[in-house]
Amino acid sequence: MYVPPRTSLRVWPMLCGIRVINAEKSEFNEDQAACGKLCIRRCEFGIEEHQEWLTVCPEEFLTGHYWALFDGHGGPAAAILAANTLHSCLRRQLEAVVEGMIAPQPPMHLSGRCVCPSDPQFVEEKGIQAEDLVIGALENAFQECDDVIGRELEASGQVGGCTALVAVFLQGKLYVANAGDSRAILVRRHEIRQLSSEFTPETERQRIQQLAFTYPELLAGEFTRLEFPRRLKGDDLGQKVLFRDHHMRGWSYKRVEKSDLKYPLIHGQGRQARLLGTLAVSRGLGDHQLRVLDTDIQLKPFLLSIPQVTVLDVHQLAVQEEDVVVMATDGLWDVLSNEQVALLVRSFLTGNQKDDPHRFSELAKMLIHNTQGKDNGATGEGQVSYDDVSVFVIPLHSQAQEGSGH
């Protein structure tokens, strides 16, 4: 994790077995980060069915690694809470299913008791594997963390929200969970693979329009659910214009009525696209109190805190020394494409000493440098990002060598 100049860097104490590094580029920086070791304790079952946690082993049982980026909006409060909380939620969720994760196949009953002789076959037919329990734990941890943030913000009178991009290395696999517009990519010598998708008002248009169709009261008569190429005005009345509704991936024409002149539920294009004129992302944590300016119209019903999770089987990759995962907030991806980042990564790692322990930090630093408008030989473009930028570079080789830690 590289923290650019003008930055106060605090290394936090060991928090629930997680080492958290928090970076603040300026007093207005809303990016937050966390990383550390993830220690999952084993909670053994007793013989009695209803007595769940008989013994809690004091020592770590399964260990993994955790990296997380949170891009805040409306203040850094939600991002800070998420950086302090999400790993604990995840650890708790994983500990609740760890017995299932270490079995050859997750058992139908967590206790291992077989109620039906064919229970293993039912689990087999559904194709349920240990990785599905980690995916479920990530999904539930994001939801739990969102609830915590909602309570904490309300209790402290704070506001705000954040995106969340999390990578977890566990039992030989890398899990990438994303809710928002940050991005993780895998860069290898001959491969670039995007490990997450962005969730914005544009990419989630149909889900959002569907919600407004189901609950029209959410728009309070102030917005139109329909999408048009631009906001309509009086001159368009009575004309047939391009539009699409929630059920359409394609476009059609409709005759413009007065209600079509309202402000659109989703408005703007690309970086400028906004949900209810307010928010640039459609998934994330927080925003429980967020309302459209000067109205009572809430944003939260349209937002999902559920991440999309992708799984990379690192042990099957035949990982090379230069294989890395680059995680970054939208500040990086707004000015550099996946291909440009891969080019920078490859040329940097080819030119630098393999035994330099700081080379991945230097690489993260160089990537951020490339968003600050300095002309660079590799891209030759010198684009400028005016947004906060945070980057993790995760070398896969050391992860793969460390193994599962079980």
Give 50 or 190: the residue with its C-beta nearer to its own copies: 50
Q: How far is the CB of 122 from its own copies (least distance, A)?
A: 4
Give 76 or 150: the residue with its C-beta nearer to its own copies: 150
178 three-class SS: strand
The token pair that represents 387 in the structure block: 């947004």
Contacts of 136 (CB under 8 A, 6+ apart): 93, 97
Report d(CA 302, CA 292) in Å as an integer. Answer: 12
End-to-end Cα, the chain, rounded Å: 26
The Cβ of residue 108 has, within 10 Å, a number of other Cβ atoms equal to: 20
Q: How far is the CB of 238 from its own copies (least distance, A)?
A: 6
Give 6 or 233: the residue with its C-beta nearer to its own copies: 233
Residue pair 45/30 in contact (Cβ under 8 Å)? The answer is no
Give 251 or 263: the residue with its C-beta nearer to its own copies: 251
**Among the listed residues 357, 362, 349, 360, the one whose alpha carbon sits nearest the alpha carbon of residue 67:** 360
Q: Name the region of 178 (left: φ>0; alpha: ψ -120 to 50; beta: rest).
A: beta
The identity of residue 191, as a single letter, is E
Q: How far is the CB of 254 from its own copies (least distance, A)?
A: 9
| Contact set with its own copies (CB under 8 A) | 49-50, 52, 93, 96-97, 100, 106, 108-111, 113, 115-116, 118-119, 122-123, 125-126, 128, 131-140, 143, 214, 229-230, 233, 235-236, 238-242, 244, 247-253, 269-270, 306, 308-309
Q: How far is the CB of 235 from its own copies (least distance, A)?
A: 5
The token pair that represents 263 in the structure block: 């402000």
Q: How far is the CB of 48 from its own copies (least distance, A)?
A: 11
Give 126 or 151: the residue with its C-beta nearer to its own copies: 126
Q: How far is the CB of 214 from its own copies (least distance, A)?
A: 7
Give 141 or 290: the residue with its C-beta nearer to its own copies: 141
